[in-house]
């Protein structure tokens, strides 16, 4: 009964081939968002290299600058891109949209792969911007129609949609959930169009927002089901906010006759600073259980065995994000802005206890910090802080729940001074003027960081950031630097510091 080894090798090989064919494209992907609203940025080719090292093959970008597009040439990474909210009023007709498709997709097709075309960014969520963009569904429909007309029907247009499009409350059962009444007609039109075009709905799903907004047990935000809080529905018990939010959307679509529309999670993650529950340990724990869950393809109670594609939010921190939902919006990064990972994460979903690759070729600025000279009595202090420190940089770590919340007064001022100094590329070696801050700052070479609160040294910025020309990750982020919400934040920070 001796088996011919070559037969088993052949059978094994055949199985491998069949398995590989059967498997191709069937697995859920774990992609990432690359928002770039920061003062110091990694150069695009460095980021693409980082993605490749981590074997991340799907990415969302928020701006289609030529140098960003070029970095993806022949990388094999599938790029999703689209129109920001502020462009929705410009691209209202088919010919304008056709031109956009020619410029942004067809021109690059030979050297780049494209994923989804995103139309707007959480356009029905007033929290993300100053208004709602009610023409978004029309633009979406015209965009897909133009894609189809140009024989690009394999590219699907979708609207990134935040969880607040649902009329969900803290105690709602998913089966009771529907779209918010004020936008219901538009949402119904939208999801039926997706259904008819075999396109997915892109969902921005932030479990920490759900639990903090509704004052629920923070544990409920993690998928490891450690929470004792439960929501019992018709035929399922929800033990975590992720499945609850996912199935709530499913039910709303189901009621609109579009229960078969695929849901792609366009943004999900955990902030590491500046709100209660934020932090590196919780972020690590969140991904440690969430990514294997995605890789397992288990699906949710309403959609068992559904493979869920996700884009993690975000690659790195964005210190120029306008924090509509709170200061933590600047701390979604899995990486620090210098390309070092903040915590262990296995992007493959295998749950290994590993750090991801570090960005290569980053140049750190010299180890120099700017601190307050301690002269509290100087009447120029308030003016210095107001004008120079926090609106030109990022003091969000000083906020409630932030890693630097507990600093003494003098250290808070130093923190603000240092962020300003770093964001300005440190001072010229000769004059120190950037740290002078009306004579109240001094440069030090001993690291002033305190327990748990890092005083960062930034990287040499490889790109000049044109203000008002940048799009960030989870929300709509085209902003002039000085806006009303920024003014409020500034007042808040000032109030906290002084
Ligand atoms: C379409 O939109 C573009 C850009 O907004 C505009 O220049 C053009 O006049 C519009 N065409 C028509 C036919 O409305
Ligand atoms: C799309 O494909 C059809 C059939 O293959 C062809 O007749 C048509 O010209 C193509 N249209 C464009 C815009 O390429
Ligand atoms: C937060 O809760 C309020 C009141 O229940 C609700 O109107 C709002 O949509 C919720 N926001 C989010 C992001 O869940
Ligand atoms: C959501 O809308 C549905 C359908 O109109 C309604 O039955 C349900 O009570 C609403 N839920 C809330 C919390 O308003
Ligand atoms: C948590 O419970 C849900 C059912 O609500 C189940 O689908 C999921 O797999 C569980 N997660 C873990 C990590 O056991
Ligand atoms: C589970 O929740 C309890 C509190 O309810 C907490 O003390 C414990 O650390 C949690 N377990 C994990 C693994 O985080
Ligand atoms: C749950 O209940 C709904 C409605 O009664 C039904 O359509 C669905 O198939 C059920 N799901 C499961 C997993 O039993
Ligand atoms: C800070 O904001 C104020 C207005 O809010 C502006 O006048 C000032 O120029 C800003 N300072 C810097 C350094 O950007």
Of all ligands present, the nearest one to the C-alpha of 151 is 2
Name beta bridge partners: 459: 364
Span 239-290, pLDDT tens digits: 999 999 999 999 999 999 999 999 999 999 999 998 889 999 999 999 999 9
* Cβ of 225 less than 6 Å from ligand 5: yes
Nearest CA to ligand 5 atom 7: 300
Q: How many CA atoms lie within 13 A of 415 on its CB side?
A: 27
Q: Which atom of ligand 1 is nearest to the CA of 92?
A: 2
The structural domains of the chain, with segments of one domain joined by +, span 5-331, 369-497
In the DSSP assignment, the letter for residue 386 is I
Q: Which atom of ligand 2 is nearest to the CA of 151?
A: 1
Question: 5-331 falls under which CATH superfamily?
Answer: Glycosidases (3.20.20.80)
Q: Which atom of ligand 2 is nearest to the CA of 149?
A: 13
φ, ψ dihedrals at 291, nearest 5°: -65, -45
Span 203-214, pLDDT tens digits: 999 999 999 999
What separation in Å is there between the alpha carbon of 343 and the centre of ligand 3?
30
What separation in Å is there between the alpha carbon of 35 and the centre of ligand 8?
24
User: Is pLDDT above 90 for 472?
Assistant: no
What separation in Å is there between the alpha carbon of 169 and the centre of ligand 3?
7
| pTM metric for this prediction | 0.81
Of all ligands present, the nearest one to the C-alpha of 285 is 6
* Cβ of 93 less than 6 Å from ligand 1: yes
Of all ligands present, the nearest one to the C-alpha of 148 is 2
Span 300-354, pLDDT tens digits: 999 999 999 999 999 998 877 776 767 888 899 999 988 999 999 999 999 999 9
What are the distances in angstroms from CA 306 to CA 150, 172, 309, 423? Answer: 31, 23, 9, 44
The number of helices, as runs of H, and strands, as runs of E, in the chain is 13, 13
Nearest CA to ligand 7 atom 11: 302
What separation in Å is there between the alpha carbon of 392 and the centre of ligand 8?
7
């Amino acid at each position: 009964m001796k088996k011919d080894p070559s037969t088993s090798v052949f059978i094994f090989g055949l199985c491998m081939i069949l398995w590989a064919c059967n498997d191709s494209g069937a697995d859920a992907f774990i992609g990432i968002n690359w928002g770039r609203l920061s003062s110091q940025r990694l150069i695009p080719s460095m980021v693409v290299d980082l993605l490749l090292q981590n074997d991340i093959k799907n990415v969302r970008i928020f701006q289609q600058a030529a140098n960003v597009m070029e970095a993806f040439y022949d990388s094999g990474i599938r790029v999703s891109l689209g129109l920001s909210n502020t462009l929705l009023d410009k691209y209202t007709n088919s010919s304008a949209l056709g031109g956009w498709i020619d410029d942004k997709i067809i021109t690059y097709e030979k050297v780049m792969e494209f994923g989804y075309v995103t139309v707007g960014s959480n356009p029905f969520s007033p929290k993300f911007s100053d208004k709602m963009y009610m023409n978004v569904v029309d633009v979406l429909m015209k965009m897909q129609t133009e894609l189809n007309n140009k024989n690009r029907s394999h590219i699907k247009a979708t609207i990134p949609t935040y969880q607040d499009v649902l009329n969900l409350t803290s105690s709602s059962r998913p089966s009771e959930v529907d779209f918010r009444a004020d936008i219901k007609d538009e949402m119904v039109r939208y999801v039926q169009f997706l259904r008819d075009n075999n396109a997915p709905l892109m969902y921005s799903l932030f479990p920490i927002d759900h639990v903090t907004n509704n004052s629920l047990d923070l544990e409920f935000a993690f998928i490891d089901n450690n929470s004792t809080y439960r929501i019992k529905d018709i035929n399922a018990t929800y033990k975590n906010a992720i499945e609850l939010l996912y199935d709530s959307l499913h039910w709303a679509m189901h009621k609109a006759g579009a229960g078969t529309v695929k849901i792609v999670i366009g943004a999900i993650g955990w902030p590491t600073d500046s709100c209660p529950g934020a932090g590196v340990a919780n972020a690590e724990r969140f991904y440690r259980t969430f990514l294997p869950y995605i890789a397992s393809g288990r699906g949710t109670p309403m959609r068992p065995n559904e493979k869920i594609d996700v884009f993690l939010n975000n690659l790195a921190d964005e210190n120029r994000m306008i924090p509509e939902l709170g200061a933590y919006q600047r701390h979604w990064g899995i990486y620090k802005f210098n390309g070092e990972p903040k915590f262990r994460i296995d992007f493959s979903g295998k749950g290994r206890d590993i750090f991801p690759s570090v960005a290569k070729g980053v140049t750190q600025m010299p180890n120099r910090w700017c601190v307050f000279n301690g002269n509290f009595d100087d009447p120029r202090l308030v003016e210095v802080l107001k004008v120079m420190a926090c609106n030109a940089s990022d003091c969000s770590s000083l906020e409630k729940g932030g890693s630097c919340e507990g600093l003494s007064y003098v250290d808070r001022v130093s923190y603000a001074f240092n962020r300003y100094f770093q964001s300005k590329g440190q001072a010229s070696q000769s004059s120190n003027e950037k740290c002078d801050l009306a004579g109240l700052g001094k440069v030090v070479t001993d690291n002033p960081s305190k327990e748990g609160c890092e005083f960062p040294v930034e990287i040499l910025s490889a790109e000049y950031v044109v203000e008002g020309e940048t799009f960030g990750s989870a929300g709509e982020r085209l902003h002039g630097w000085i806006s009303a919400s920024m003014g409020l934040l500034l007042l808040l920070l000032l109030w906290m510091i002084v």
